[in-house]
Amino acid sequence: MPAVKRAASTNSVDVPVKRLDAGTIRKYIDLRKLDFDQVKRCSVKCTPLEVYCCLQCGKFLQGRGARSPCFLHAVNNSRHSMFMNLRDAKVYELPLNREVDTARDTLLQRLQLALQPQFESDRLQAFPQNCTDLVAGKQYTNGFVGITGKPQLVNYIVILLAHITPVRDNLLLCKQQEGTLVGQVTQFVQRLWSTTLLRGHVSPEEWVSYLQVHSRDWLDVTDPKLAFNWLINQLIKSPLQDTLASACRGEIEVKQTSRVVPFWNVTLDLPTSSATIFKDGREVNDLPQIQLSTLLQNKFDSDTAPYMFRSLPEHLIVYYNRHSGARLPFPVRDRNQTMVDFPLTVEFPGNHRYRLQGNLINDVVRSSDIATDDTNHWKLQLLNTNNDQWYEIDGPLVTAREQELLFLKETYLQVWRRV
Ligand SMILES: [Zn+2]
Ligand SMILES: [Zn+2]
């Protein structure tokens, strides 16, 4: 084949790079072209095995053998000579097929960390922290970065869970099995909390593409409780099980039967009222409102309450049920729109004080057409406990939020931490 012949001859006349000083290495790297968030497949052969990233143009190519896309790419393009293995982050020079000693170069080491963030257990308690991205030198806060692409509900729920400290630490420090859902979630969470990102955002592209192949249906789920339960059921089949259970699982007693049942989240039903039909031009004030304390009392803490808490976890996940379960023609528009009024610290039955840490809200986009349903628009509000500031993640946008205004949106899923 002509290509191979050319490759061989070019190889033999090429003058090998004798020593790799920092200046030479930089000639082979164009940071602006690199993006490790993409699905790691060869752009020529589509294989996910043995894929390298050309550090000059960012292309993902299979290689390093003499007929491989990677090898040919190096032969046919000058300066496209340095490649990082996307699995073990080792760097090679092609077509010489020589491993580069990265221990002597800070830029290559930074690139390795951008691909595979590393975490040390004694530094996690300082998280979140101020970080600088490698490409633009911009500041970002790890754990509070924007999400590019089209984030789905499950992505936001993963981020919410990844802000529960013991769950986060487990995902950052433990090796998870590759090629599994939990492995994919782990990779995503490690990038979310990375202090060494290429750019100050993360993309769910890799694990979304994993879901597309393995659990297609769950990508389109629009009910946070279904998505949450599905995710928990996946995670408790992994080494994360014990951490999750000790952080988030509690027990309630069904008063009528004295039966004790474990729970992963507390579901609060919102009152249905005939006033849920409105004319256009309504204001927030027109919506029915209820206090969180009233909801808790009705379900757990009064003589007529059907349940009582037996044990409350360190991290309490609360779900507000806005869907009756009936199949409605317009499930989004016909949801229960009651506003929940909650303080940022709340007393749960039995003198347990909790502080709000995370709040998944739905900023529904109303349809202008009566024949089509409204559209869910999920946003995630998270507390940075280091500066007591609330932030809202809305896709790629991260905005600081006034804590007094948090309850003005429809809340669906919250994480409370015992104080
Ligand atoms: Zn990116
Ligand atoms: Zn290239």
Helix (H) or strand (E) holding 4: helix 2-13
Is 2-114 CATH 3.30.40.10? Answer: yes
For the chain, which residues make up each domain, given as ranges? 2-114, 189-418
Indicate which ligand has the atom closest to the C-alpha of 83: 2
In the reported structure, the alpha carbon of residue 37 is separated from the centroid of ligand 1 by a whole-number distance in angstroms of 5
Whole-number Å distance between alpha carbons of 235 and 242: 10
In the reported structure, the alpha carbon of residue 35 is separated from the centroid of ligand 2 by a whole-number distance in angstroms of 13
Of 91-100, 186-195, 208-217, the one with minimum mean pLDDT is 208-217
With tokens 């007393």, the residue in question is 347
Residue type, 29: I
Indicate which ligand has the atom closest to the C-alpha of 200: 1
In the reported structure, the alpha carbon of residue 42 is separated from the centroid of ligand 2 by a whole-number distance in angstroms of 12
Stretch 410-419: mean pLDDT, rounded? 96
On the question of pLDDT at 16 being above 90, the answer is: no
On the question of pLDDT at 345 being above 70, the answer is: yes
Indicate which ligand has the atom closest to the C-alpha of 36: 1
Please write the tens of the pLDDT for every residue from 194-239. 999 999 999 999 888 888 888 877 777 888 888 999 999 999 988 8
Has the ipTM of the complex gone over 0.90? no
Confidence at residue 14, expressed as pLDDT on a 0 to 100 scale: 41
Contact 234, 286 (CB under 8 A): no
In the reported structure, the alpha carbon of residue 151 is separated from the centroid of ligand 1 by a whole-number distance in angstroms of 13
Please write the tens of the pLDDT for every residue from 120-129. 999 999 999 9
Confidence at residue 19, expressed as pLDDT on a 0 to 100 scale: 54
Contact 134, 114 (CB under 8 A): yes
Indicate which ligand has the atom closest to the C-alpha of 30: 2
In the reported structure, the alpha carbon of residue 190 is separated from the centroid of ligand 2 by a whole-number distance in angstroms of 27
Contact 44, 61 (CB under 8 A): yes
Indicate which ligand has the atom closest to the C-alpha of 81: 2
Confidence at residue 29, expressed as pLDDT on a 0 to 100 scale: 96
DSSP secondary-structure letter at 383? E
Backbone φ and ψ of 407, nearest 5°: -85, 5
Other CB atoms closer than 10 Å to residue 388's CB: what's the count? 9
pLDDT category at 286 given cuts 50, 70, 90 is: low
In the reported structure, the alpha carbon of residue 60 is separated from the centroid of ligand 2 by a whole-number distance in angstroms of 9
In the reported structure, the alpha carbon of residue 140 is separated from the centroid of ligand 2 by a whole-number distance in angstroms of 29
In the reported structure, the alpha carbon of residue 54 is separated from the centroid of ligand 2 by a whole-number distance in angstroms of 5
In the reported structure, the alpha carbon of residue 71 is separated from the centroid of ligand 2 by a whole-number distance in angstroms of 10
Please write the tens of the pLDDT for every residue from 133-184. 999 999 999 999 999 988 889 999 999 999 999 999 999 998 777 788 899 9
Confidence at residue 248, expressed as pLDDT on a 0 to 100 scale: 96
Residue 209: strand, helix, or coil? helix
Fold for the domain defined by 189-418: Cathepsin B; Chain A (3.90.70)
Indicate which ligand has the atom closest to the C-alpha of 204: 1
Q: Which residues are found with C-beta within 5 Å of the ion, ligand 2?
A: 54, 56-57, 59, 80
Using alpha carbons only, give the angle 103, 57, 55 rounded to the nearest 5 degrees: 5
Confidence at residue 21, expressed as pLDDT on a 0 to 100 scale: 83
In the reported structure, the alpha carbon of residue 241 is separated from the centroid of ligand 1 by a whole-number distance in angstroms of 30
DSSP secondary-structure letter at 24? H
In the reported structure, the alpha carbon of residue 58 is separated from the centroid of ligand 2 by a whole-number distance in angstroms of 6
pLDDT category at 131 given cuts 50, 70, 90 is: very high
In the reported structure, the alpha carbon of residue 108 is separated from the centroid of ligand 2 by a whole-number distance in angstroms of 16
In the reported structure, the alpha carbon of residue 21 is separated from the centroid of ligand 2 by a whole-number distance in angstroms of 20
In the reported structure, the alpha carbon of residue 180 is separated from the centroid of ligand 1 by a whole-number distance in angstroms of 22
Indicate which ligand has the atom closest to the C-alpha of 29: 2
Other CB atoms closer than 10 Å to residue 231's CB: what's the count? 20
Contact 172, 151 (CB under 8 A): no
- In terms of Cβ atoms closer than 10 Å to its own Cβ (0-12, 13-18, 19+), residue 71 is buried
Question: What phi-psi label fits residue 312: left (phi over 0), alpha (psi between -120 and 50 degrees) or beta?
Answer: beta
In the reported structure, the alpha carbon of residue 205 is separated from the centroid of ligand 1 by a whole-number distance in angstroms of 10
Stretch 357-371: mean pLDDT, rounded? 94
Confidence at residue 6, expressed as pLDDT on a 0 to 100 scale: 32
Contact 171, 185 (CB under 8 A): yes
